[in-house]
Amino acid sequence: MDHIPKNHPRAESLRIRQRLVDGYDDGLVAREGLIAHGRGEAFDYILGERTTRLAQRSIKAAAAALLLARNPVISVNGNLAALCARQTVRLAAASHSSLEVNLFYDSPARRRKIASKLESAGAKRVLGHRRADQTELPGLGSQRRIVDKRGIAMADAVLVALEDGDRTQALAKDGRRVIAIDLNPLSRTARTADITIVDNAVRAMVRLAAQCIELAGKKESGLRRITDSYDNAATLGSHIEEIAKYLERAARNA
């Protein structure tokens, strides 16, 4: 394979892409996960590849929701592990969340590899990779319904990143508070979640952990005020409007 030309104007994007490709070679990422990453790249591009003020508002609500939860769980798939295992482990610590491996294209070998990757990044305990601990989430077909008894099965809040719409809906219908990180503000996951952070997971994980640390000393009533005043549908609408404005500026400058 060719190396990334240093003077290529999209070298940074190509380097992040390389992390995914490395993750694929290490058996963490599914082939379909490479394609899904590309979708994210495109939406990040039209967001201006930055954490917007709107996203920061969602991050604050998400941090409050994680701190309010009794059993928060971070659902980890191959892409998330390949892109930001360390940041994900740090967020789990900062928000007292469990980490559970959960895959769209299931494979026991890949589950184990993702768990190892999280452990190498400092995780003390990773759920979702032992067959004995598996149970089922209602309302989902095929392998995708499998969750961990000690994790998502008993979670009151679940953070999903780069997640499929079906599973997000199943979690929401089953009464969990769902926090999603999704670059596409039009996706079913974005619309179904209670709090959607429209941002690149790599950037969002770091900021979300920082926000959890900042809010850690706050009283429950204060945290509740943050989540109660957050309107996900309105925030998503504003995100879409911002993208439209960004594109209109780009069209004028084209």
Q: Which residues bind a second copy (CB under 8 A)?
A: 1-3, 5, 7-10, 17, 20-21, 24, 30-32, 34-43, 45-46, 104-107, 141-144, 165-166, 184-186, 188, 191, 233, 236-238, 240-241, 243-245, 247-248, 250-252, 254
In the complex with a second copy, the residue whose CB is nearer, 132 or 254, is 254
CB of 143 to a second copy, least distance (A): 5
CB of 230 to a second copy, least distance (A): 16
In the complex with a second copy, the residue whose CB is nearer, 120 or 143, is 143
In the complex with a second copy, the residue whose CB is nearer, 41 or 156, is 41
In the complex with a second copy, the residue whose CB is nearer, 1 or 132, is 1
State the CB neighbour count (10 A cutoff) for residue 171: 29
Which of these, 157, 111, 166, 163, lies nearest to 138 by C-alpha position? 166
Distances from the Cα of 216 to the Cα of 9, 58, 92, 178, 226, angstroms:
41, 17, 13, 20, 13
CB of 203 to a second copy, least distance (A): 18
CB of 107 to a second copy, least distance (A): 7
In the complex with a second copy, the residue whose CB is nearer, 180 or 243, is 243
CB of 58 to a second copy, least distance (A): 15
Which of these, 101, 188, 173, 182, lies nearest to 137 by C-alpha position? 173
